[in-house]
Amino acid sequence: MPAGREGNPPSQWSACGMRWGIQGRTMLGYIGRRLAVAVPLLLLISFVVFAIMHQLPYDVIDSFSRPDMDREALEALRERYGLNDPFLVQYGRWLWGVLHGDFGYSLVSRHSIADDLLTKIPHSISLVLPAYLIALVLAIGLGLLAGANRGRPTDTVIDTSNALLISMPPFWFALLVMYFFGHTLRLFPIIGMHSVGRTDFTDFALHLFMPCLVLTVAFYPDLSRYVRSSTIAQLGEDYVMVQRAFGANKREIFLSHVSRHVLLPIITQLGLALPMLVTGALITETIFAWPGVGKYFADAVNTFDYPVVMAVLLLSAALVIIGNLLADISYRLADPRVRLKGGVS
Amino acid sequence: MSTTSLRRRPAVKSKDQAFTFGRRWVAALLTPQAISASTLLVVIVGFTLSAPLWGINPDALDLDSMSQPPSSEHWFGTDGLGRDYFIRVLYGGRVSLAVGLLATLTGTGIGVVVGLAAGFSSPWIDGLLMRIVDFFNSLPWLLMVMVVSLLLKPGIGTIVICVGGFSWMSVARLVRAETLSIRERTYVRYAVYIGQSRARTALWHVLPDALPTILVAASSSVSGAMMSEATLSFLGRGIQPPQASWGQLLQIAQGSLQQLPHLAIIPGALIMATIYCLNVLTNVTRQAMEAGQ
């Protein structure tokens, strides 16, 4: 790895790692450096979003005030919520709270945001996790199948369906599913997570079916394409030709070599999917009124409930950064040939 | 940063090479898939462009024929206010396509400027610009765009800024990688040597060579931009009524899904068809490009 430090580094190197002196040596140091970049990045994101929310011509008082309400009473409310303080004071107060694990209170419902998130995150995970796992299993199976039969009818069918599914707007598919299964066949309840007064699993599963189907179809095609193209790339590698030359049959090569090389990099996709656990279902949750983080955020945006917006954005940005880091680390563990590089991308 | 984009290409193509290059393009565009995709795309675009020629007002209310299914009089039926849905879909398509193109233009423009600047200026600026790219990449874009769209007045301009302003990073990276390889070529080094300014060298000598890469990247982001517009409009953060776009029509259709499913089926199917055709054509172009290298 430090070979580039002697002699002339290739141009690619000087562009990425060498110039910044952040070429990694040990895994722990690498993680430390990445986290050292991540913290200021999160601060910057929170500051920018706070500034945007502050610039808005409306605030939360406007979202629940009526024309007949007393102007002075509204002004008193603004004062009580601290909305009249200077921008930096408001930001400082918010940041101080976050550092103490206090995300503040929703301005609309007056609930503690931390408590709200603690109930809503499991709801989102219970929807996204099964959908992602089903999509992943389907994608691995069908992607390997398509890649192994490149150019044959099996591949054409799988590849064309992937292309069509990628072009399909997920919210349109959600509407079709809702119309077909919900309105026409009346098989599944259309909105929510539980029927009123019921908490049993059957009821939950019935509510889960449609949003989960929509999400699975949304996650599947990209993963499937990824598996298919890396299968095709692996089949063109030299080691396959060597195996052939030594008389191994196609099945052996595929099962014991190619599939292993294809499946290892998929670990990296898991890291990249981490932020989706929480906010990946924003549209689906909104359509099916699933009480998760996505719907929580969308509602908060519509009512200018900025403490909620800030909390979800910060959570989501943190997950993006952690997910990228996990992806890079797992990729490094899966393939020791990969050099560690700095940066947060 | 892929290795293919860093691979050197001969700077001057001989006549013979240019000929095979052209033939490869023709061959790529004459596959049945490419022909059917481009035909369908031309039909869709042609219909949306012809919207004013039909002589129907997209905002004219007809309270006697509200919520009608498709018929010979109203090809796509009417919506809940009795407006002719066919003409609304055509006008909506104009907005969707225009936003897709304009957002791509914005995103590509920002990406090219940032990429050229990063690849052709001091390491310090390069590092700064790449950190900015990292910053934008670590933003959860849908959430950010929803927040930013609150700040600006809803409409076409806002949505173009929102979609373009959050999708330039990949173009910037591509252009930077291209620039880093192109600037080592002899004619660029000569231009620097004879004292041409950095900006002039970048625009006159580097940019033209990076153009094919930029064009392919831009064409592949049109479909993504259209999808983003549809998503935002569907969430109520994009095009606002009475103006229509395909995503916004879907949002309206959501409310009367049980009674009038065709209001939802038609615009969604058109989004899907357009994006599919664009993706097919982009793939064909990219393959022809890569084969030509």
Task: Give the model's pLDDT for residue A13.
Answer: 36
Flag whether the ipTM exceeds 0.85.
no
Radius of gyration of chain B measured on its C-alpha atoms: 23
- Name the minimum distance, in Å, from the CA of B15 to any CA of chain A: 31
pTM of this prediction exceeds 0.95: no
The fold adopted by the segment(s) A122-302 is MetI-like fold (1.10.3720)
For residue B182, give the chain A residue with the closest CA. Answer: A11
Q: Which of B138, B143, B223 faces A41 most closely, judged by CB atoms?
A: B138
B5 touching chain A per CB within 8 A:
no
pLDDT at residue B113, as a whole number: 92
From the candidates A54, A55, A175, which should be mutated to test the interface with B, based on the most B CB atoms within 10 A? A175
Determine contact, residues A259/A144, Cβ cutoff 8 Å.
yes
Q: Do B254 and A175 touch (CB under 8 A)?
A: yes
Alpha carbon separation from B83 to A274, B59, B76, B77 (Å, rounded): 44, 6, 10, 9
Inspect the interface and report whether the beta carbons of B139 and A317 lie closer than 8 Å.
Answer: yes
Round to whole Å and give the CA distance between A318 and A267: 20
What pLDDT, on a 0 to 100 scale, did the predictor assign at position A6? 33
How many CB pairs below 8 A link A and B? 124
Q: In chain B, positions 31-90, which contact chain A (CB-CB < 8 Å)?
A: none
pLDDT in tens for each of the 345 residues of chain A? Answer: 333 333 333 333 333 433 344 444 577 787 888 788 888 888 888 888 888 877 776 666 766 666 777 777 777 777 777 777 778 888 888 888 888 878 878 877 778 888 888 999 999 999 999 999 999 999 999 998 898 888 899 999 999 999 999 999 999 999 999 998 888 888 888 777 777 777 778 888 888 899 999 999 999 998 999 999 888 888 888 888 888 888 878 788 887 788 878 887 787 778 778 888 777 789 899 999 899 899 999 988 888 788 888 889 888 888 888 888 888 787 777 666 655 544 433
CB contacts, 8 Å: A287 with chain B: 254
Whether the CB-CB separation of B213 and B178 falls below 8 Å is answered with yes
**What pLDDT is recorded for position B2?**
42
Of A16, A282, A309, nearest to B147 by CB-CB distance is A309
- Residue ranges of domains in chain A: 122-302
User: Rounded distance, CA A158 to CA A140, Å?
Assistant: 12
Q: Touching check for B4 and chain A: CB below 8 Å?
A: no
| Close Cβ partners of B283 (under 8 Å, ≥ 6 residues apart) | none
DSSP states of A78-146: HHHTTTTS-HHHHHHHHHHHHHTT---B-TTT--BHHHHHHHHHHHHHHHHHHHHHHHHHHHHHHHHHH
Q: Which residues pair with A307 in a beta bridge?
A: none
Smallest CA–CA separation between A321 and chain B, in Å?
Answer: 6
B199 touches chain A (CB under 8 A): no
In B213-252, the residues whose Cβ lies within 8 Å of chain A are 223, 227, 230-231, 234-237, 247, 250
| Residues present in chain A in total | 345
At residue B135, the pLDDT reads: 83
Q: Do A171 and B258 lie within an 8 Å CB cutoff? A: no
Closest in B139, B258, B275 to A45, CB measured: B139
| 3-class secondary structure, B280 | helix
Nearest CA in chain B to A278: B140
Nearest to A12 among B6, B130, B271 (CB): B6
To the nearest whole angstrom, how far is the Cα of B290 from the nearest Cα of chain A?
Answer: 15
Query: Which residues of chain B fall short of a pLDDT of 70?
Result: 1-22, 292-293
Please say whether the beta carbons of A47 and A92 come within 8 A.
no
B18 touches chain A (CB under 8 A): no
Contact A90, A54 (CB under 8 A): yes
Q: Which among B133, B236, B250 has CB closest to A172?
A: B250
Q: Which of A166, A302, A320 sits opposite B140 (nearest CB)?
A: A320
CB-closest option in B184, B268, B280 to A169:
B268
Contact between chains at B250 and A168 (C-beta distance less than 8 A):
no
Looking at residue A14, what is its pLDDT?
Answer: 36
User: B137 and A345: CB-CB below 8 Å?
Assistant: yes
Q: A32: Cβ–Cβ under 8 A, 6 or more apart, which residues?
A: none
Is B143 in contact with A312 (Cβ distance < 8 A)? yes
- B84 neighbors B145 (Cβ within 8 angstroms): no
The pLDDT of residue A165: 93
Asked if B140 reaches chain A (Cβ–Cβ under 8 Å), the answer is yes
Q: How far is A304 from chain B (nearest CA, A)?
A: 9
User: CA nearest B223 in A: which residue?
Assistant: A167
The total number of residues shown for chain B amounts to: 293
The sign one gets for the Cα dihedral B210, B214, B216, B217 is positive
CB spacing of B127 vs A52 below 8 angstroms: no
| Residue A125: other Cβ atoms inside 10 A | 16
User: What is the amino acid identity at position B45?
Assistant: V
A316–B140 CB contact, under 8 Å:
yes
- Name the closest residue on chain A to residue B142, using Cα atoms: A282
How far, in Å, CA of A258 to CA of A274, rounded?
A: 27
Using CB atoms, pick whichever of A52, A166, A287 lies closest to residue B147: A52
> How distant is the Cα of A339 from the closest Cα of chain B, in angstroms?
14
Interface check B257 vs A, CB under 8 A: yes
Domains of chain B: 40-49+57-291 (1.10.3720.10)
